[in-house]
Homo-oligomer: A and B are copies of this chain.
Amino acid sequence: MKVGIITSGGDAPGMNAAIRAVVRYAIPRGIETIGIERGWGGLLDNSIIPLTRKSVEGIIHLGGTILKTTRCQEFFTPRGYYKAMKVIKENKINALIVIGGDGSMWGSVQLNEVSGIPIIGIPATIDNDVAFTDETIGFDTAVNTCIEAIDKIRTTARSLERIFLIETMGRERGFLALQVGITAGVGVILVPEIKYNIEEVCERLRDFKQRGKRTSLIVAAEGIGDTSTIAENIEKITGFEIRISKLGYIQRGGAPTGRSRLLANLFGTYAVDLLLKGVYNEMVGIKDGKIISTDLKKVINTRKKLDMKLFTMAKELAV
């Protein structure tokens, strides 16, 4: 069997650890592994490299992905799928392991439907917005990167006695913002899934002030709208000064945490086990501490839910 490995979409810390796990677990089990570079783009370009046990040495602790990744429009067209099929056939690839987020799982389903190539998905994105897995590779790392950044901003916030609004990644979902908010001890967390009431936010900030809270922070996912406008509105209503800090691309980077690396090991080896058992078109995941797999179509058609209890807890513990 010859398996192609793809990392697709935005990069996430731990993707390299997952590539390493797949390669090193697959080869002794008689599977040949190759890497497809630059996501779907490389599949169209026939940009393929061999992946041996040696070629994945010394990468477990590196952020990003040695296979690179791009967002590729052409892939999602009839011509794109056709090209991809041709490359798959020519290279005699028997199955694909696709490491990425929600969009990559969606692309996997499309490709499979058109080409019939068996695919196993491994969820890896800092956004943690993939259904049927409690956690994605890279999420824990991004949470820690954000709270370390907030710990830095905290000293300035305290020295200046200003409110800081910290913008995390998350165009559509607030998993990262929520996890960061509760673990950074932040009382106001704004996410795209929940309509916020600006009067309520202001009331909370006034309450913080009154109780003499030394640092008032707001954590907001980028998807809630233009944070500058929100900050201005709060300033107008409360008279408090607000500074904005967009954490930006550092959230994607850095060495993966132990947890992101462990997930990568568990997911990567399980993906190979599925292939060996002849199970196809599923996505690996972790559910209640157990490694499972779920039909890819079910994955892309299910919207993962935020844990609303964490909001209440974050709010309650912050004052």
Contacts and interface: CB of A to CB of B under 8 A. Distances in A.
Interface of A: 7, 11, 13, 15, 17, 20-21, 24-25, 28, 38, 53-54, 57-58, 60-65, 68-70, 134, 140, 143-145, 147-149, 151-156, 158-161, 164, 179-180, 182-185, 211-215, 243-250, 252-255, 257-259, 261-262, 265, 269, 287-290, 313, 316-317, 319
Across the A-B interface, give the 6 residue pairs with the lowest CB-CB distance, nearest first.
A152-B253, A64-B155, A63-B155, A64-B159, A60-B185, A288-B289
Contacts of A60: 183-185
Q: Which of A65, A184, A259, A290 has the most CB of B within 10 A?
A: A259
A151 B317 contact: no
A253 B290 contact: no
Contacts of A249: 152-153, 156, 164, 243, 245
Contact of A316 (B24, B143, B158): B24
Contact of A258 (B140, B159, B288): B140
Copy number of this protein in the oligomer? 4
Contacts of A69: 159-160
Contact of A61 (B58, B154, B161): B154
Q: Which of A20, A183, A269 has the most CB of B within 10 A?
A: A183
B68 A161 contact: yes
13 contacts: A24-B319, A58-B158, A140-B259, A144-B257, A153-B250, A153-B252, A156-B252, A185-B261, A243-B249, A245-B249, A257-B257, A288-B288, A288-B290
A290 to B, nearest CB: 7
Given A53-B319, A70-B161, A215 B58 contact: yes
Contact of A155 (B25, B253, B261, B290): B253
Contacts of A290: 288
